[in-house]
Structure 1
Amino acid sequence: MPKDEFEWIRQHTPERYNHSGVIEGIGDDAAVYAAEDGFDEILCVDTMVEEVHFKKQTMSPYDTGHKALAVNISDIAAMAGIPVYYIVSIAVPPSWTDEELQELYNGMGALAAEYDMDMIGGDTVSSQSGLVISVTVHGRVEKGRHLLRRNALPGDIVFVTNPTGRSAAGLDWLLQHGRGQNCPEPFQTLTAYHQRPRPRVEEGRIIAGTAPTASLNDISDGLASEANEIAEASGVKLQLRQQDIPAATELKEAAGGDSYWDWIFYGGEDFELIGTAREKNWSLLQQNMKEEGFPLYAIGRVQEGPPLVTLLDGTEEQTLPKKGYNHFQS
């Protein structure tokens, strides 16, 4: 871990910031930034704990940094926002070297650069157990344009931005073999989805611009869990059609003839977007997404009824419980 906190701060103080709204960034007691006219502010925070949310066995320091920021950007995407600033608080154990810690920050910095984000503060302390990293992200969205889970209405089309389950399948391989081993396909592709997820910011912006009454949620705990959150928040029933739920080719290959549906429904950490849109907006939404090169899958309908999620397979309908797969459960 860093021997000199002040030198560490100096090393991570940028010469310039991407956003002119930064009045005072890293180096004082707190950051100061100017709000932008015409926008609402979005704040979110996520914490990752070593041996709970990640392991060195499965994630390099660079991957850990990337993911720590990505999960927060995904929350901003689910509100149809734009990520702007981030703050990092980290508790570092003796088992982490300065080089590993720098790689972690490099992972965050590379992803932040893709969105012109500025790191404007943070805190560094020591830990006597595993590493703990907590990232706070500030985003913005045009006034009144944010999307919420509670916007779903009966008749809406349920959609998802990409196939789910690939992150969970990748993690399962990593837990068995470790990240240092030769990783064959399809597992090389699957592990990348786990280690370096891509927040769906652009997709969220298109959804809000085309279907301003849509509901939206990011898939962190699994497709089933997030669908249930929309149902509960909106007071409606979501009926998903199993035949319409996408399954990636590499996921089917990894399953090797076994069922891959647990990965799809309960795996989690996909950071795709699930939502609902009014039928009148659906054709244009599909068209706008396609024009920008983004897939969008209709996977069900919103119905009147108790707040739950069901899965329709042919003529058989069963409840899809709100649960996520716990990869580190003993």
Structure 2
Amino acid sequence: MDEFSFIEAIKQPFYRNQQIIRGIGDDAAVFREPYRDVVTAVDTFVEGVHFSRKTMEPFHVGYRILAANLSDMAAMGAEPISYLVAIVVPSSWSDNELKEVYRGLATIAKKYKVDLIGGDTVIGAQFVLTVTINGAVERGKARYRHQMQANDLIFVTGTLGDSAAGLSILLDNKRTNSVETSYLINRHRMPTPRVPFAREMARLRCVALNDISDGISSEANELAQASGLTVYLDENQIPISKALAQFPIGDQQMFKLSGGEDFELLGSIAPSEWDKLKEVAQKSATQLTQIGFVKDESERNGKVFIKSDGDYYRLLEPNGYVHRS
């Protein structure tokens, strides 16, 4: 299939968002946002680096990269609107496999009501998929990591470690027909970005957010460093799924602290707003757990400490995934 035929094949018949003035069909897309701040993010998946044929079907590659983009929008408190796709296709990939990538993209795009408005397709030696997402947030209401404040409560959505456990199962060929195994694999291949939760949070003040793409040990340190404050976590309060509980304790700890790619939200909020946040979680059907607190301690600011048993807090280094070798 040539490039132009492929563009016609993936082109949406209509756009779901009125902000989009022009999508696929010209040299660039146009969208209009008169009263909101525009938020944009980009993610890239490279075959052999971010995924392999052993762990991902083409459908999951498309689904998962847009899920990562949507999670970035949620972490910024933004409403996702549209996305663009740039793809490098090697000769080893068939037309049907490429269509499956776009079917994965379209499936999650439909679920979260975002529109494909353009992109580029080229032939190359290695499969590379890049997605740029556009969103918007009420002026001055974007969520930033540095907004964390002393005495805030630290919270997390969902459960942690599932994606890393699912990847471990796929890599070790430990697949069974058990419900737990299927759940963990699905959490790796088709994560759930917390867009509805973030949308409902719009009315709350002074919330700092970070999405858990690299592991909570990394994301918590990013919050501490951005705000110049000290984060204290209780490992026993970090939520895990029943499916993850089947693993040895050491694996559970590694997966939930350093595994990453759960695309849950880690954040902080003032104690006075906690009850309102619980209402948001209930309204958006999101599991919410308080896992720590924030202090202003000059000798420890910019660092994260965690306790497992008793009252002793140890330093938690950022040891999740790092995006370069």
TM-score (normalised: structure 1): 0.93
| Number of corresponding residues | 321
Is 2:208 the counterpart of 1:215? yes
1:13 is matched with which residue: 11, 14, 23?
11
Query: Which of 317-326 and 62-71 deviates more?
Result: 317-326
CA distance in 2, matches of 1:203, 1:12: 30
What is the correspondence of 1:240-259 to structure 2 with a 5 Å cutoff? Answer: 240-253=233-246, 255-256=247-248, 258-259=250-251
Residue in 2 that maps onto 1:287: 279
Is 2:266 the counterpart of 1:274? yes
Residue in 1 that maps onto 2:252: 260
Gap runs ≥5 in structure 1: none
Residue in 2 that maps onto 1:117: 114
Residue in 2 that maps onto 1:308: 303
Contact 2:160 2:238 in 1 (8 A): no
Label 1:78 to 1:9 Cα distance change in 2 as closer, same or farther (>3 A).
Answer: same
Residue in 2 that maps onto 1:90: 87
- Seq. identity, %: 39
TM-score (normalised: structure 2): 0.94
Corresponding residue SS for 2:15: coil
Label 1:185 to 1:15 Cα distance change in 2 as closer, same or farther (>3 A).
Answer: closer
Q: What code does the residue aligned with 2:213 have?
A: S
Residue in 1 that maps onto 2:200: 206
Corresponding residue SS for 1:170: helix
Question: How large is the Cα RMSD of the aligned pairs?
Answer: 1.8
CA distance in 2, matches of 1:217, 1:201: 13
Corresponding residue SS for 1:84: strand
- After superposition, the C-alpha distances for 1:77-125 in whole angstroms (9 at most, x for unaligned) are 0011111010000000111110000010000001101122111100000
Label 1:7 to 1:292 Cα distance change in 2 as closer, same or farther (>3 A).
Answer: closer
Contact 1:9 1:27 in 2 (8 A): no
**Structure 1 residue 146 displacement after superposition:** 1.1
CA distance in 1, matches of 2:249, 2:295: 34
Q: What code does the residue aligned with 1:311 have?
A: I
Corresponding residue SS for 2:294: strand
Is 2:75 the counterpart of 1:78? yes
Q: What code does the residue aligned with 1:287 have?
A: E
1:149 is matched with which residue: 120, 145, 152?
145
**Structure 1 residue 259 displacement after superposition:** 4.2
Corresponding residue SS for 2:277: helix
Label 1:257 to 1:304 Cα distance change in 2 as closer, same or farther (>3 A).
Answer: closer
**Structure 1 residue 325 displacement after superposition:** 4.8
Q: What code does the residue aligned with 2:70 have?
A: I
CA distance in 1, matches of 2:251, 2:94: 41
